[in-house]
Chains A and B, each alone.
Chain A
Amino acid sequence: MAETTPSGDNTLLRETVSAREIGRMERFLGPENYRIVMGLLKTPASIAGFILIGFFILIALAAPVIAPPVNAKDPYKIPRDGFKSEPQPMGSLWKTKQPPLPFWWESIMGTDQWTHILGTSQGQYDVFYGIIWGTRTAFRTGLMVTIATFLIGIIVGSISAYYGGWVDNVIMRVVDVFMTLPFILAALILATILTPRIGKSLYPAIIALITFGWMTYARIIRGDILSIKERDYIMAARVIGVKDSRILFRHIIPNAIFPTLVLASLAVGDVVLSFAALSFLGIGTEVGYADWGQVLSFARNWITSLDTYWYIIVWPGLALVMYVMGFNLVGDALRDVLDPRMRGKT
């Protein structure tokens, strides 16, 4: 090609560009995603949510320091102080061989006597320990379930949207079938069937929640892909001869995935609710595993004396509610940002 003077004058160009100087963040995320992120960062409710989530992340990371485990190899086993059934009140001293003291305890309390800060539950399981390490369980299960359901949803939804026609039809009917079973009951059945096979652990519940949790993502990503597919830049890609697979992975998915991704990251909180519900119904980990639902389910046997033993439900309940609320606060703001009716309002 020969060198020529271009007809458009570059001075004009520079002026217009400098009029809209944008930050690195916006450049990286693109305008639509940037709007979502900024919308979240500007709402007080979602900021409160982020703070709560951050708080729990800190607790999860610092668990070994806050409540040192008896056996470092098996930290999720809540230490027991004897085998008596009756819960012990908050602040009662550790009677049997106590676990290692956290380094901060002595300097604050002036004693090397480890205490049941939040009391013990049925069977002398330490509630405080259960809550601290239960935070890790909450994140672990939440992340596992979310990542798996997200990936399955993305794959199924993409296939459905991309191929369209009867493939789409069949897949969407399968999604309908999965959604016809009430979520918690379906998960309950599968976990019930799986438990004798793989033993009492986190996994039956995790597998069950994954099996019945991917459909929403598939639906959302499918809808987004279908809408992206009609954009002119997809047509433009076909004009220059981009192959179908590259169109899907380079042009469609990067533009369609973000809302689903954000929704999924907020579902990390919801997983814990379903998980706790299964625990409460007796499906899930073995007794004494550091899992909020598990700790809470002890309360079932003490209903008539809950006025005395309130701490066996209030503290783990509070942890659970605050954790989920952190995600919900962000999620609520996100719905406002994503809702097309709210566009242009923030």
Chain B
Amino acid sequence: MLTYIIRRLLMVPLLLFGVTVLIFAMLQFLSPIERSALYVRDIPRNDKAVEGIIKRYKLDRPMHEQYWFWLVGTVDASTGKRAGGILFGDFGYSRTGAEPVATLIRNRFPNTLDLTIWAVAPVILVGIWLGVQAAVHQNSIIDQAARIFSIVGTSFPTFVFGLLMLMFFYVKLGWFPPGRMSDASSIIVRSEEFHTYTTLLTFDALLNGRFDVFLDALRHMAMPILTLSYISWATFLRVTRSSMLETLRMEYITTARAKGLSEHDVIFKHAQPNAMIPVVTLAGFSVILLLGGVVITETVFNYPGIGQAAAIAAAQLDVITVLGFALFNGLILIVSNLVVDVLYAVVDPRVRLS
């Protein structure tokens, strides 16, 4: 078990290294002049200035040197100031965000995290319960509905789903607005009394005791939450169900029943813990889905998270910003995969032993 975790941990730097190489390789499609845009705030008009930047950041050097300087940046001999270097948190300057990419991410990530938590938590809590119910009452309505729901759900492009939601709940019914919060809430949040604890709006609102702000935030997040999670709902339900069904057929369950345990105990003490093994894998997988999903979802609902910023940047060919997000996402993904692997080892004794 410990060796397993250590091996996984050793993989993290390796994977991150791989990701930087991959991204750097993609950068090579750009000319040095374009790559110089990494380090300037405006599209350079002055040829001299561009040349200076290319020299300064060594964009005309051989590949491996460029890669090195891309990682660690360069230190100006006279001033001793470091410029560039993704290892030092300098991802470059975002043209579309009009601020450094690192700042952009720091400002917007809490919004995305807030949204993701609200999208995932109900799925895991309720989705698993529903899945178990569907397995215990096989071929019931839940069972069939889950199947149809999952096929239809996975056939829907996120943005079409999102646009349809907007059409009904915003334009037609006026129930849920897009955006982050109403102007009234915005004034409260920016006021002196409102303390920032977590940077996550909904949690801060609760901690400040401002239920009006909390409800307002949820109202704005309702459509993005649904859009982000409808596919996860469907898949969670189905995987939990089939895994639970399989476990219920196993011998030790029959033994537990034969021992005279109540049906409730059989299901929740014996079967469910084992049925959770594939569900854990799925939880890890859905992080990947979500990270892909936020780009589209946030764009559709004009929600100020990192996905929207990435989409805007991509549409305007602001490569630097997009790359920053890619690296950041890669990091999140590696960490969450690691967590899932460890969790997996905890729930599955077979992994622990091998």
Which of B15, B147, B291 touches A176 (beta carbons < 8 Å)?
B15
Looking across the interface, which residue of chain B has its beta carbon closest to that of A305?
B171
Q: Residues 182-218 of chain A: 1 if any B CB is under 8 Å from the residue's CB, otherwise 0? A: 1111101111111111000000000000000000000
Q: With an 8 A cutoff between CB atoms, is A53 at the interface? A: no
Q: With an 8 A cutoff between CB atoms, is A263 at the interface? A: no
When chains A and B are docked, how far (Å) is the Cα of A280 from the Cα of B295?
11
Tell me how far the C-beta of A313 lies from the nearest C-beta in chain B, rounded to whole angstroms: 5
Contact A185 B325 (CB under 8 A): yes
Looking across the interface, which residue of chain A has its beta carbon closest to that of B299?
A281
Tell me whether A303 and B246 are in contact in the complex, defined as CB-CB below 8 angstroms, given that A181-B329, A194-B29, A280-B159 are known contacts.
no
Q: With an 8 A cutoff between CB atoms, is B6 at the interface? A: no
Tell me how far the C-beta of B329 lies from the nearest C-beta in chain A, rounded to whole angstroms: 5
Contact B295 A184 (CB under 8 A): yes
Contact A282 B160 (CB under 8 A): no
Looking across the interface, which residue of chain A has its beta carbon closest to that of B22?
A177
Tell me how far the C-beta of A169 lies from the nearest C-beta in chain B, rounded to whole angstroms: 11
Tell me whether A329 and B171 are in contact in the complex, defined as CB-CB below 8 angstroms, given that A174-B18, A189-B319, A317-B164 are known contacts.
no
Within 8 A of B (CB), among A263-322: 269, 273, 276-277, 280-283, 293, 296, 299-300, 303-307, 310, 313-314, 317, 320-322
Q: Which residues of A contact B337 (CB under 8 A)?
A: 180
Q: With an 8 A cutoff between CB atoms, is A178 at the interface? A: yes
Tell me how far the C-beta of A125 lies from the nearest C-beta in chain B, rounded to whole angstroms: 17
Q: Residues 168-197 of chain B: 1 if any A CB is under 8 Å from the residue's CB, otherwise 0? A: 001110000010000000000000000000
Q: Residues 252-293 of chain B: 1 if any A CB is under 8 Å from the residue's CB, otherwise 0? A: 000000000000000000000000000000000000100110
Tell me whether A185 and B329 are in contact in the complex, defined as CB-CB below 8 angstroms, given that A193-B319, A303-B166 are known contacts.
yes
Looking across the interface, which residue of chain B has its beta carbon closest to that of A321?
B155
Contact A180 B19 (CB under 8 A): yes
Contact B322 A196 (CB under 8 A): no
Q: With an 8 A cutoff between CB atoms, is A325 at the interface? A: yes
Which of B38-46, B84-92, B309-317 lies on the face that meets chain A? B309-317
Q: With an 8 A cutoff between CB atoms, is A27 at the interface? A: no
Size of chain A's interface in residues, with CB distance under 8 A? 54
Q: With an 8 A cutoff between CB atoms, is A115 at the interface? A: no
When chains A and B are docked, how far (Å) is the Cα of A296 from the Cα of B167?
14
Q: Which residues of A contact B30 (CB under 8 A)?
A: 193
Within 8 A of A (CB), among B300-354: 310-311, 314-315, 317, 319, 322-323, 325-326, 329-330, 333-334, 337
Looking across the interface, which residue of chain A has its beta carbon closest to that of B332?
A182
Q: With an 8 A cutoff between CB atoms, is B296 at the interface? A: yes
Q: With an 8 A cutoff between CB atoms, is B202 at the interface? A: no
Contact B163 A182 (CB under 8 A): no
Contact B163 A303 (CB under 8 A): yes
Tell me how far the C-beta of B64 lies from the nearest C-beta in chain A, rounded to whole angstroms: 18
Which of A182, A192, A283, A341 touches B329 (beta carbons < 8 Å)?
A182
Contact A189 B166 (CB under 8 A): no
Q: With an 8 A cutoff between CB atoms, is A154 at the interface? A: no
Which of B22, B150, B291 touches A185 (beta carbons < 8 Å)?
B291
Contact B22 A181 (CB under 8 A): yes
Contact A192 B317 (CB under 8 A): yes
Most B CB contacts (10 A, CB to CB) among A180, A192, A310, A322 go to A180
Contact A180 B333 (CB under 8 A): yes
Q: Residues 35-58 of chain B: 1 if any A CB is under 8 Å from the residue's CB, otherwise 0? A: 000000000000000000000000
When chains A and B are docked, how far (Å) is the Cα of A134 from the Cα of B168?
26
When chains A and B are docked, how far (Å) is the Cα of A18 from the Cα of B333?
57
Contact B322 A188 (CB under 8 A): yes
Which of A182, A190, A192, A328 touches B291 (beta carbons < 8 Å)?
A182
Q: Which residues of B contact A282 (CB under 8 A)?
A: 311, 314-315
Chain A residues engaging chain B, CB cutoff 8 angstroms: 45, 173-174, 176-178, 180-186, 188-197, 269, 273, 276-277, 280-283, 293, 296, 299-300, 303-307, 310, 313-314, 317, 320-322, 324-325, 328-329, 332, 339, 341
Chain B residues engaging chain A, CB cutoff 8 angstroms: 11, 14-15, 18-19, 21-23, 26-27, 29-30, 147, 150-152, 154-160, 163-164, 166-167, 170-172, 178, 242, 246, 288, 291-292, 295-296, 299, 310-311, 314-315, 317, 319, 322-323, 325-326, 329-330, 333-334, 337
Could you list 19 examples of A-B contacts with CB < 8 Å?
A176-B15, A180-B337, A181-B19, A181-B329, A185-B292, A185-B325, A185-B329, A196-B317, A283-B314, A293-B157, A296-B160, A303-B178, A305-B171, A307-B167, A321-B156, A324-B156, A332-B147, A332-B151, A341-B246
Known pairs A188-B322, A317-B163, A328-B151; list 11 more (Cβ under 8 Å): A173-B15, A180-B330, A182-B295, A280-B157, A280-B296, A282-B311, A300-B163, A306-B167, A321-B160, A325-B155, A341-B242
